[in-house]
Structure 1
Amino acid sequence: MPLAVVEPEPEPGTEPEPGTEPEPAREHDNPHFVEAVTIEAVFERADDATIDEPTDSSTAALTLRGVAKSFGGVRAVEGIDLTVPVGTFYGLVGPNGAGKTTTLSMIAGLLQPDRGSIHIGGVDAASHSLKAKRMMGVLPDRLRTFDRLTGRQLLYYYGVLRGLTPAVVEKRTGDLGRAFDLTEALGRPVSDYSAGMTKKVMLAGAMIHSPRLLVLDEPFEAVDPVSSAIILDILSAYVAHGGTVILSSHGMDLVQRVCTRVAVIVAGQVLAEGTVAEVRGELTLEQRFIELAGGLSDVEGLEWLHTFSD
């Protein structure tokens, strides 16, 4: 015997007028309904809407004042001051463990400084972090991504996360795929990509929302010369049209060739900063870097390595 469906009795005073259709239930009347919002709406609700986006071209793209960070008893960054003008290709160089990645991670909002201030395009990254992050694209060190997605799916994720419409994401994915020579690879899982291809698709993801500032940690590491040239051409065009890049690199020749300004960080401190010509003086940038980093290591005591055990 089929079960009868019993409609609940309407509450007194809620019966519809004769000859009218009852109003359909609204999702908002359901206590378990969660309103769907766009990423842009979240930004607007979470941040102070009275802060205007920077429009003055004289405003620095990035400013650090007295920024410091410690891990336990180890001081990784100690009182760094930096000013990166708009439209600058800015290089951050230093030996391993100097504090470059920690500095870039604080700029990107991945780490909070113990003290000091960071401003992105005039916006205080501490009190208006969402507004500051919205102006940045980030390529982190030690690439981690959703590598079971295809390249196209990954870029779609990056785009909608940044509040772009699917139609805009689709167009920009095609444009970036052609620019980075990834068109054929976009249909394959990222797990099948080489290290250089992974870096290119993640850089494309960092650029898909057309940020004001790109924060790139070793963007040319593990990248073949052809891919390096492609990335460099794209970044140069980006800077030429008013974008700003701050990157870390161990390639002194590349930094000397492409960067407008450079800062040398050693033991968490900026030991030299300025145009490449100002920093290197009469030396090459590599020679100046070695000089500031404390010179070459002492190889005394390794004489046993000059003989062979067999």
Structure 2
Amino acid sequence: MSIPASSQPAQIPPEPAQVQPQPAGALPDPDTAIAIRGLAKRFGEKIAVNGVSLDVPAGSFYGLVGPNGAGKTTAMSMATGLLRPDHGQIWIHGTDVWAEPLVAKRRMGVLADGVRLFDRLTGEQLVTYSGLLRGLDRDTVAERTADLLRVMDLTSDAGKLVVDYSAGMTKKVALASAMIHAPQVLVLDEPFEAVDPVSAANIRDILAQFVASGGTVIVSSHVMDLVQRMCDHVAVIAQGNLLAAGTVDEVRDGRSLEDRFVDLVGGRSTGEGLSWLRT
């Protein structure tokens, strides 16, 4: 199991909850792709992330799962330097994200959910722009852009404005933009949301190849079947609390990941009281 603070799942505190920051402790192993210690964030009275500690092993395909509003996006935004935490620390391969942000961000590729792209650029221009922002020379950017568009099956649409792309095409060009600088770690928030099955299969193949070549992927999702088939590690988060983490087999404990998830998170209801709906 990879819950560094405790071997037991965290318990969801009663309402009103209080943020429970944890001490940072010893520096993580630099071979750990992402190390999170005591991460916490509050928005007014709402505790979005409550003292989460987690290790993502290098070379793993890691799933972060939870119901809507569980704190997944907030946690990933803090881990990638997009949102400053109230408490806690994050390291990317041993580099503190908030102490050395430029070094840490060079090691990451990020696909954030709900963040608008520069969609008045063409697909080719967007990927090129991303590469130039990363400090790559123009020849390298041109070569890598062509490679990424080909692998993403976007070559024929390279000259089309991103605003005119489908949801699947938009996810793929955003992923290409996140990969152009050859990061060590990809952090992807809901990369399969609103994506058609063919595009989703292509994205899965690309990510599997990235992991096979030594990269690390952490992806958030609430689709249990997808995570169970795709990931080798998983963490379950609900109401801002980490409930379980480890390999997929460890977390699902002999059952399907969906059944284990429902047991951990709770809240399942029946259809009682809907007799009027029957025919």
- TM bracket (short chain): 0.7 to 0.9
Report the counterpart of residue 117 of structure 2 in structure 1: 145
Q: Do the aligned partners of 1:58 and 1:86 also contact (CA within 8 Å) in 2?
A: no
1:106 matches 2:78: yes
- Distance in structure 2 (CA, Å) of the matches to 1:121 and 1:254: 27
Which of residues 152, 167, 170 is equivalent to 2:142? 170
SS at match of 1:187: coil
Distance, in Å, in 1 between the alignment partners of 2:53 and 2:214 is 23
Partner SS state of residue 206, structure 2: helix
1:298 Cα deviation after fit: 4.7
Tell me the equivalent position of 2:174: 202
Q: For 2:243, which of 268, 271, 290 is the aligned residue?
A: 271
Q: How many angstroms apart in 2 are the aligned matches of 1:120 and 1:220? A: 24
Unaligned runs of 5+ in 1: 1-56
Question: Is 1:189 aligned with 2:161?
Answer: yes
Instruction: Give the whole-Å Cα distance in 1 for the aligned partners of 2:142 and 2:45.
Output: 48
**Distance in structure 2 (CA, Å) of the matches to 1:255 and 1:200:** 19
State whether structure 2 residue 115 is matched by structure 1 residue 115.
no
Q: CA RMSD in A?
A: 1.5
Higher relative contact order (CA closer than 8 Å, sequence separation 6+): 2
Describe how 1:223-242 pairs up with structure 2 within 5 A.
Answer: 223-242=195-214
CA contact 2:127–2:177 (8 Å) conserved in 1: yes
Code of the aligned partner of 1:104: M
- Normalising by structure 1, report the TM-score: 0.79
What is the CA–CA distance in structure 1 between the aligned matches of 2:179 and 2:274, rounded to whole Å? 48
Contact 1:64 1:119 in 2 (8 A): yes
Matched to 1:294, the amino acid is G
Residue among 128, 136, 142 paired with 1:156: 128
Matched, 1:127 2:113: no
For the residue of structure 2 that corresponds to 1:238, the secondary structure is helix
Matched, 1:90 2:59: no
Asked if residue 70 in structure 1 is aligned to residue 17 in structure 2, the reply is no
Structure 2 gap ranges (5+):
1-28
1:206-249 C-alpha deviation (Å, 9 max, x unpaired):
00000011110011111111111111111111111110000001
Could you tell me how far 1:294 is from its partner in structure 2?
Answer: 0.5
Whether the 8 Å CA contact 2:80–2:97 is kept in 1: the answer is: no
Q: Name the CA distance, whole Å, in 2 between partners of 1:107 and 1:123.
A: 12
In structure 1, how many angstroms separate the alpha carbons of the residues matched to 2:30 and 2:248? 21
Q: CA deviation at 1:126?
A: 1.6
Q: Indicate whether 1:248 and 2:211 are aligned.
A: no
Q: Residue 67 of structure 2 contacts residue 238 of structure 2 at CA under 8 Å; is this kept in 1?
A: yes
Which has the higher Rg, Structure 1 or Structure 2?
1
Kindly provide the amino acid, as one letter, of the partner of residue 185 in structure 2: L
Q: Is the 8 A contact 1:70 1:76 kept in 2?
A: yes
Is the contact between residue 90 and residue 259 of structure 1 (CA under 8 Å) also seen in structure 2?
yes
Q: Structure 2 vs 1, CA of residues 279 and 175 (structure 1 numbering), >3 Å: closer, same or farther?
A: same
Using the alignment, how far apart are the partners of 1:141 and 1:185 within structure 2?
Answer: 23
